Every structure is written in structure tokens, then in C-alpha cells.
Amino acid sequence: MTRSLRAAQGVIALCLVLSGCSSDTGSPSPTTAAATGATPVQMARTGGPRRHVIVLKDGSSADLTSAVQQLGGKVKRSDSQIGVVTVEGLSDASIATLRKRTDVQGIDADVTVQWIKPWSAQGARVVHLSHIDQSGAAAFDSYQWNLKVIQADKAWLASREGKGTTVCVLDTGIDPNHIELQGRVDLSRTVSFVADEAATADLDGHGTFVSTIISSNGIVTASVAPKANLCMVKVLDQTGSGSFADIISGIVYATDAGADVINMSLGAYFSRREPGAMELIRALQRAVNYASRRGVVVVASAGNDGINLNRDPKSYISVPAELDHVISVGATAPVGQVNFDAIASYSNFGASGVDVFAPGGDFVEGSVEQDLILSACSSAIIYFTGCEGGDGYLIGAGTSFAAPEVSAQASILESQFPGNQSDEFITFCIQKTAENPNGRRRDRLYDYGRINVFKSLSCGWGS
């Protein structure tokens, strides 16, 4: 690598983990994935006070506060920018009354979903720094094959490295005191939508891991866009669960807070026939549309169900990956440091549901530790020991870790080209300059292919 990676003093904790965007525990090979896809997630009501999401008709600016209070409830949150209102404490009779209003398009119970897997303890272990080959004076260089594959190291020298841009990460929180993240997090725009959990207390660790791939201090781990600013919008709790309403509000908040890019390394696979599902998904689409209209690039992980989305039933949908105006990112990985552009065993794939691919790591028969992705470990994580000092690191695999590479690429492109670029232009550049392992311009499995950050710097509408 061109960028120097200085080894931290003392012991560096490396825990082997698997993380991503699926409730399914299986990771079928892309060549054998069942055409019917994975079992869709069953929605569950939110805990605590009963909540509902009200979607107003397009163009309505109604204030429902008084009406909801008269019916015995209260407005929890109003995202008037998109005509979505979250309410609490209403009875079924009250809900039926609200449905009759001429300005209400739909209303359904908010639900909590397991958007990311819990960190798996299988194979977890601490690796001491002395056990790592430090030849070449680049700490963990062999663990950061992902940055070289997408030519991020070349882009560092030829770009503004994301300077002046902000990437808001919707996730489990962030550890701003980790040595890689000190000074990288805009705390004034960091917020939590999760009750009783601060945004800066990343008890799960997923958000810290994802964020450090985007931007870091380069002390031990390099990042794709080291000069980009980060903001954390906490929408998932310490179990990786979160409600639709919180994610919807998180997108609106990040957009209004001035995000250039929104990263969502989260997702779930739903049946469109699930009661109440489509109204909630429509509300989420409204939030994404709002971000898109404001020029925000929205990136999401494609999911870890290992299914061919070209052949999954039309009644199923991967959310948010398959929403409009979202760049859906699948994962590639080598096995034994060979064939770096192979689709990872767990990754969803297929041009109908995945736009581009980026390195996400893998751990299957024949894999070595270096085939996974390296990033920072939150000092507040409750699943492993060795991260308490704010200088710990994890290795893992998942489409969750491919998405932030694309978000960082979008940040670099936004920084590189003068003026506030539209999300269509940034998406065009990312897709047009991706490299397809099968040699085709577009491919049924890879769609546009694996991203190339350096190549995208020369992008233009006429290129």
C-alpha cells in the first residue's frame, strides 16, 4: 500500500466474526442458491408503547397532533418532509377513526426487525500483534487486500480523499474515542433514535466497524476516504434490531443534517404479502426519495442470504437494497487469497437486485484469516474481550462491510467534482467504472461489476 500504516504499540485484539444483513443462518454458494430464495423475515411489533406509522396522502401537510391527542394517543415523531407521522398509544378503534380521514393514505403498526446478525462467537479469538508478519513496514497490509483490489490506495494520491464531505452511517452507534476515529466523527450531527442507548455507545460494535472502513486515522487500518467526515445516526440497538419508523426518521434526519452519502449496512428479506409490510416499505421509500431529491447518495448492503435475486419470487423484496434510488452492494472475497473477485459464499447476487460489488471477505473451507475484512472494534462492545482500550480490531465478513467501501467511493467523487453533484451522477460514475469479472459490460450475476475507486476519478457524463 502507498499509505503508511503505523503499527500501534502493545496488543491488538483481532476477533474472527461474521456479520451482515440477514436473519438466515445459512450461507449457500452462489452456484447452488435455491431459486425460491431465503425465508422472509417475520415482522414483530415494537416493544414498549404501541406505535403506528401514518402515511399521509401526497401533498398533504396536515398536522395530526390534535386529532391524535383527542383519540388518546400522542405524536412520537413527525417527518412532515415526507408526510409520515409516528404515533403511540392508540387503540384499534382510534386507528380505524384515523384511517377514515381524507388526508390519510395508510396506517400500520410499526415493527421491529433484526436488520443485522448478532456477532457470531464461532471461531472468535485474540491475535497478538507479534503473531502478524510485519514485513514491508505496513501493519496489517495483508489483511487489507480489499483496499488494493478496489484501488483505493491509488485514489488516495489522486483525489481529495473525501475532504469536505459527510457520510452518515445508519447503524448501531459509533465509538468516537477509538484511536482510528478520534477527530473523524461530527458529534454535532450524531444522534440516536434508539431509546436508552446513546449514539456514542456502540454496544454491538457493528457501526464502529462499518464507519472505520469509510474514514479512519490510518494508525493501524487504512480507510477508503480518510478525509471524509462521519456522522452516526443510531437506528439499531445492541442486538442489531430496529424499527421501520426509526430508520425512516434516520434517513430524513441525515438528509436534513447535510449528509452527502447515507450508508445502510443493514437489511432484511420480506414477503410483500406480510400484513402491513407494504405500507411500511412505501414509507421507507418516501424517505429514500427525499434523500435522493436532495442529492444524497444512498448505499445499502445487498444481504447475506446467498440467493440469486434474478430468480427469487416477485412477492419477496430485500429492503432497503431493492428500493429505488439505492445503490445495492454485494460482496466479493478470495479463498486462500486467490480469485479476489469471486462472489462471496453468503452474498446475494443477480442484476435484478444488486448493482455493484465490493470486497466483503469470506470464511469457508480453504479460507485464511487474511480473506476477511479488518476494521476497528468499539470499546463498548459487549460480545468480546480485548476491545476495551479503544485500540482493538476485528476481522469479519459480510455485505455490511462491502457497502461502506461504495459509500466512501461516493464521498470521494462528491469531493472530487466541483459543485454539489446529484446522486444520479455519482451513481453513474460508480457503475460505469466498475470492472466486471466476466468481461461483460453488464452481467446477470454481477450487474455492473466490482467497484474501482481510482478509475472512477476520471468519470464524466461523456466518458
Angle at 346 between CA 344 and CA 351, to 5 degrees: 75
Catalytic-role residue among 52, 178, 206, 325: 206
What single letter denotes the amino acid at residue 239?
A: T
Sign of CA dihedral 374, 380, 385, 388: positive
3-state secondary structure (DSSP) of residue 197: coil
Catalytic-role residue among 171, 246, 391, 423: 171
Catalytic residue list contains 19: no
3-state secondary structure (DSSP) of residue 65: helix
3-state secondary structure (DSSP) of residue 413: helix
Angle at 107 between CA 106 and CA 109, to 5 degrees: 150
Catalytic residue list contains 24: no
CA 429 and chain centroid, separation: 20
Catalytic residue list contains 400: yes
Catalytic-role residue among 216, 400, 407, 415: 400
Using CA atoms in the order 99, 101, 104, 107, what is the torsion angle rounded to 10 degrees?
-20
CB-based contacts of 220, cutoff 8 Å, min separation 6? 5, 6, 7, 8, 12, 139, 140, 179, 180, 391, 393
Length of the chain in terms of residues written:
463
R_g of the chain computed on alpha carbons: 21
- Residues acting as catalytic residues: 171, 206, 400
